[in-house]
Amino acid sequence: MPILIKTPEEIEKMRAACRLGAEVLDYIAPYVKPGVSTLELNRLCHDYMTNVQDTIPAPLNYAPPGYTPYPFAICASINHQICHGFPNERPLKSGDIVNLDITVIKDGFHGDTSRMFLPGNPSIQAKRLCDVTFECLWLGIGAVRPGGHLGDIGAVIQKHAEKSGFSVVREFCGHGIGRAFHEEPQVLHYGKTGQGEKLAPGMIFTIEPMINAGKAAIRHMPDGWTVTTRDRSLSAQWEHTVLVTETGVEVLTLSTGCPPAPEGMSA
The 10s digit of each residue's pLDDT in 94-109 is 999 999 999 999 999 9
pLDDT > 80? residue 267: no
> Which tens digit of pLDDT belongs to each residue from 217-237?
999 999 999 999 999 999 999
What's the first-to-final CA gap in the chain, in angstroms? 28
**Mean pLDDT of all residues belonging to the chain:** 97
* Annotated domain spans of the chain: 8-251
pLDDT > 90? residue 266: no
Amino acid 162: pLDDT: 98
Pick the CATH number of 8-251 from 3.40.50.2300, 3.90.550.10, 3.90.230.10, 1.10.10.10: 3.90.230.10
- Core vs surface per residue 199-229: b (16+ CB within 10 A) or e: bebbbbbbbbbbbbbbebebeeeeeebbbbb
Classified as helix, coil or strand, 236 is strand
> Which tens digit of pLDDT belongs to each residue from 157-204?
999 999 999 999 999 999 999 999 999 999 999 999 999 999 999 999
Amino acid 210: pLDDT: 98
- Its pTM stands at 0.97
